[in-house]
Amino acid sequence: MTTETLFTPSRLGAIAVKNRIAMAPLTRSRAGMDGVPSPLAARYYAERASAGLLIAEATNISRQARGYAWTPGLYTDAQVAGWKQVTDAVHAAGGRIVVQLWHVGRMSHTSLQEGGAAPVAPSALQAGGKVFTETGFETPSMPRALELHEIAAIVEDYRQAALRAQAAGFDGVEVHAANGYLLEQFLRDSTNRRTDGYGGSIENRARLTMEVVQAVAGVWGADRVGVRLSPLSTAIGDTPLDSTPQETHAALASRLGALGLAYLHVVEGQMHAEDGTGRLFDNQALRQAFGGAYIANNGYDRQRAIAATASGHADMVAFGRDFIGNPDLAERLQHGLPLFNAPAAGYFGGGAEGYTEFSVAQAA
């Protein structure tokens, strides 16, 4: 009997995976306000270790990087110790786990910043959408534009977080250059109005992402580093698209591919152009420009994932919400079992309920 490609082993650079199912990074806001992962996190991730790859939730590289309450970090020794418990539990369960390195940029609030400081961004343009603070969802605060001399320090923060990720026992790292956060704010011409070497041309706008990835690869080796992109995402509010998303992201993907990275992780989608042409975004063009392993993400179900990996559209498929209520998702997908739709009320904040435990009422 043939085995569907989705359920067969593979490799992402130096990372061996037992199947082509990835757990997408999911912000659950269960850490302490000091950024230390909850003791429940070790159980949460270990329960999902049957996935080929766990991509741990977006993790702040610095105090300044934080934009949501109760999210974990990788900039203190206590945070490293908290994550070490997670990676030990995952490895004991036979899993592989990388951590997503995160700086939110303008998607933050002064109440989350040290001393009530303004968030930072490529340009002083206020974000739409909402951020999750200790008092609930709030409009992001007005950011200030980063000074040119400050950018090198942010690259160094990423490098230091990569070193701490090694100390915490991860199998690699994913650089978060998607979803309207700092690196994508630099990449998109709609959020980057700079006139120095980090603004203007596509090459200049991609410069910070490239510097960050190269710094992180210098710690880990390129074959244990992935990058996440989301060319069409407006997931965090009214974040406008780049004016030429296909050309911009293809150029970046090509530069990233030349580094020999472990994988490119793309939040796929379609674009309806403002001029009414209905032009579709070509995700495969990004894959071809990158030339390495490609993780597809965004609304995949069992049949679409099987088809994507069988046809060569993707080397791996990432699932998000389905993993919240189905820790054994890999097995459920393989055997065609029904999935539990976890209530959205338990997504952010709280304790075990809706995280590692579901009540009888919820399961019903």
**Residue 229 CB-density burial (10 A; 0-12 exposed, 13-18 middle, 19+ buried):** buried
Mapping DSSP to helix (H, G, I), strand (E, B) and coil, where does residue 328 land? Answer: coil
**CA-closest candidate to residue 169, choices 82, 102, 228, 93:** 82
Of 345, 227, 350, nearest in space to 289 by CA: 227
248, containing H or E segment: helix 245-257
Strand, helix or coil for residue 353: strand
Q: Which two tokens stand for residue 83?
A: 């994550």
198 noted as active-site residue = no
Q: Are strands 225-229 and 173-176 parallel, antiparallel or unpaired?
A: parallel
- Nearest-5° Cα angle at 113, 107 to 118: 65
Return d(Cα 58, Cα 176) in angstroms, integer.
8
- One-letter amino acid for residue 121 of the chain: A
CA 30/CA 39 separation, integer angstroms: 9
Helix orientation angle between 207-220 and 151-167, rounded to the nearest 10 degrees: 30
For the CA atoms of the chain, what is the radius of gyration?
19
Catalytic residue among 45, 181, 263, 300: 181
Beta bridge partners of 22: 53, 318
Active site members: 181
